[in-house]
């Protein structure tokens, strides 16, 4: 019988009724969430907790993973361990690791999918789990390769969505406004670092006050993903914006403290910059893809369009592999074809 049907007896007669598959999924999702909440306080064994902590330390110290990646991997592993608790009916210990089967990992990913996790998130989760079990084997702590038999969810091939030169210029110079002048100037300085120097938002907000670029020292030494260090130039307009921000900032900027502060004097959150851009999207006619990271994409795409060498762009972005940078050639090719279709008389039919 169809999975979307149920049997019912009405007045002594058997009837088949169609159910709402989305409703079934919603019930399963609610059940999963309730179970997870009921079990999330179950403690791991001391030995397993220690092993997890050592793995996370390994990701930072030896693999050079960024804090954001390390936190994401740690969260993925904790979610799996919580799910595993449900299957065992008790808190797992290290000895249980060797008895894990592929169906446990598949069941976990299925439960995450019912919670509307995207394929990209599921692929990262699987990468985190594979990393953990690979490390366990390398350290001769435990050996279980069941996770390797689980297929990686397909992630659609995405192409960066940069802004046009005109839209990017308007956004970083005139787009961000606030009731307080120092906040407007601060946000402008951050956006100029993203578009003018190709920084990630975490890199810009991770700058210390004594690392701020000056007219005498117009470069930044950035430690990016994987601990890869690079030197990036800073435009005069960006330096001017940072100087103006430092003059107007109502809070003292400690030399070893963050350069960019929030409205209450604490470190500036990336979310504040994301919201500032979201507020001006419609007024400036910007697409939904206009985000802080889109300015980094714009930096690379506009340099490539102007004739910059792909290797140079790789160094400026801090990509470990040239193949990562080559994705911008696809953006450039798409734009070239669009111009051709719009301008060539034969293309217009």
Reply yes or no on whether 195 is catalytic. no
Q: Which listed residue (200, 245, 297, 302) is catalytic?
A: 200
Q: Cα–Cα distance between 150 and 192 in angstroms, integer?
A: 43
User: Which among 38, 34, 143, 45 has a CA at the least distance from the CA of 91?
Assistant: 45
Of 114, 149, 184, the domain-final residue? 149
Q: Cα–Cα distance between 62 and 55 in angstroms, integer?
A: 10
Question: Are 140 and 204 within one domain?
Answer: no
DSSP code of residue 267: B
Please indicate, yes or no, if residue 30 is contained in any of the structural domains.
no
Question: Are 250 and 323 within one domain?
Answer: yes
Reply yes or no on whether 328 is catalytic. yes
Q: Cα–Cα distance between 322 and 331 in angstroms, integer?
A: 15
Question: Are 285 and 172 within one domain?
Answer: yes
Residue 92, Cβ neighbours under 10 Å: how many?
18
Q: Cα–Cα distance between 157 and 155 in angstroms, integer?
A: 6
User: Do residues 241 and 189 make contact, with C-beta atoms less than 8 angstroms apart?
Assistant: yes
User: Do residues 191 and 177 make contact, with C-beta atoms less than 8 angstroms apart?
Assistant: no
Please indicate, yes or no, if residue 74 is contained in any of the structural domains.
yes
Q: Which listed residue (63, 113, 114, 293) is catalytic?
A: 293
Please indicate, yes or no, if residue 348 is contained in any of the structural domains.
no
Q: Cα–Cα distance between 46 and 263 in angstroms, integer?
A: 41
Please indicate, yes or no, if residue 6 is contained in any of the structural domains.
no
For 212, residues 6+ apart whose C-beta sits below 8 A from its C-beta are 242, 246, 259
The pLDDT value given to residue 53: 92
The two tokens of residue 346 are 């034969």
Please indicate, yes or no, if residue 28 is contained in any of the structural domains.
no
Please indicate, yes or no, if residue 349 is contained in any of the structural domains.
no
Question: Are 175 and 88 within one domain?
Answer: no
Residue 125, Cβ neighbours under 10 Å: how many?
23
The pLDDT value given to residue 43: 62
User: Which among 278, 303, 287 has a CA at the least distance from the CA of 196?
Assistant: 303
Question: Are 173 and 308 within one domain?
Answer: yes
**pLDDT less than 50: residues of the chain:** 1-10, 12-27, 29, 32-41, 339-340, 344, 347-349
Of 149, 173, 206, the domain-final residue? 149
Q: Which listed residue (114, 225, 246, 335) is catalytic?
A: 225
Buried b (16+ CB within 10 A) or exposed e, 126-149: bebbbbbbebbeeeeebeeebbee
Q: Cα–Cα distance between 80 and 47 in angstroms, integer?
A: 17
Question: Are 189 and 226 within one domain?
Answer: yes
Question: Are 133 and 258 within one domain?
Answer: no
Of 149, 183, 207, the domain-final residue? 149
The two tokens of residue 201 are 């938002």
The pLDDT value given to residue 172: 86
Q: Cα–Cα distance between 316 and 320 in angstroms, integer?
A: 11
User: Do residues 222 and 232 make contact, with C-beta atoms less than 8 angstroms apart?
Assistant: yes
End-to-end CA distance of the chain: 54
Question: Are 52 and 193 within one domain?
Answer: no
The pLDDT value given to residue 264: 92
Question: Are 116 and 174 within one domain?
Answer: no
Instruction: Find the angle CA(290)-CA(313)-CA(257) to the nearest 5 degrees.
Output: 70
The domain containing residue 116 runs over which residues?
40-149
Please indicate, yes or no, if residue 16 is contained in any of the structural domains.
no
Question: Are 226 and 336 within one domain?
Answer: yes
The two tokens of residue 274 are 């994301």
Please indicate, yes or no, if residue 155 is contained in any of the structural domains.
no
Q: Which listed residue (70, 124, 167, 296) is catalytic?
A: 296
Angle between helices 310-317 and 327-343 (to 10 degrees): 130
Q: Say which CATH number the domain at 71 has.
A: 1.10.150.130
Structural domain count, the chain? 2
Question: Are 171 and 313 within one domain?
Answer: yes
The pLDDT value given to residue 300: 87
User: Do residues 207 and 258 make contact, with C-beta atoms less than 8 angstroms apart?
Assistant: yes
Reply yes or no on whether 319 is catalytic. yes
In degrees and rounded to multiples of 5, residue 176 shows phi and psi of -90, 125
Q: Say which CATH number the domain at 172 has.
A: 1.10.443.10
The pTM of the full predicted model, rounded to 2 decimals, is 0.62
SS3 260: coil
Question: Are 115 and 258 within one domain?
Answer: no
User: Which among 190, 276, 277 has a CA at the least distance from the CA of 238?
Assistant: 190
User: Do residues 289 and 153 make contact, with C-beta atoms less than 8 angstroms apart?
Assistant: no
């Amino acid at each position: 019988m169809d999975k979307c049907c149920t049997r019912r007896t009405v007045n002594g007669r058997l009837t088949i009724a169609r159910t709402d598959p989305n409703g079934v999924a919603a019930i399963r999702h609610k059940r999963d969430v309730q179970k997870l909440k009921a079990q999330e306080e179950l403690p791991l064994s001391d030995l397993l907790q220690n092993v997890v902590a050592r793995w996370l330390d390994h990701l930072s110290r030896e693999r050079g993973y960024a804090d954001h990646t390390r936190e994401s991997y740690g969260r993925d592993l904790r979610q799996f361990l919580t799910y595993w608790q449900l299957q065992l009916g008790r808190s797992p210990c290290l000895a249980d690791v060797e008895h894990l089967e592929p169906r446990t990992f598949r069941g976990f990913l299925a439960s995450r999918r019912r919670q509307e996790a995207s394929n990209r998130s599921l692929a990262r989760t699987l990468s985190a789990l594979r990393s953990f079990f690979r490390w366990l084997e390398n350290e001769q702590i435990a050996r279980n390769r069941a996770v390797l038999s689980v297929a990686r969810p397909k992630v659609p091939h995405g192409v960066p969505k940069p802004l046009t030169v005109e839209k990017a210029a308007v956004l970083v110079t005139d787009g961000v406004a606030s009731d307080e002048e120092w906040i407007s100037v601060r946000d402008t300085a951050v956006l100029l670092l993203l578009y003018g120097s190709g920084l990630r938002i975490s890199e810009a907000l991770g700058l210390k006050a004594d690392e701020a670029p000056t007219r005498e020292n117009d470069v930044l030494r950035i430690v990016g993903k994987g601990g890869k260090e690079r030197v990036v130039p800073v435009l005069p307009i960006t330096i001017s914006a940072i100087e103006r921000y430092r003059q107007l900032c109502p809070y003292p900027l400690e030399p070893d403290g963050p350069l960019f502060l929030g409205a209450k004097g604490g470190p500036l959150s990336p979310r504040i910059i994301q919201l500032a851009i979201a507020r001006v999207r419609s007024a400036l006619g910007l697409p939904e893809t206009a985000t802080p990271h889109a300015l980094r994409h714009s930096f690379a795409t506009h340099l490539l369009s102007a004739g910059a060498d792909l290797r140079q762009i790789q160094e400026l972005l801090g990509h470990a592999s040239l193949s990562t940078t080559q994705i911008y050639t696809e953006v450039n090719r798409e734009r070239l074809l669009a111009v051709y279709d719009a301008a060539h008389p034969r293309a217009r039919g």
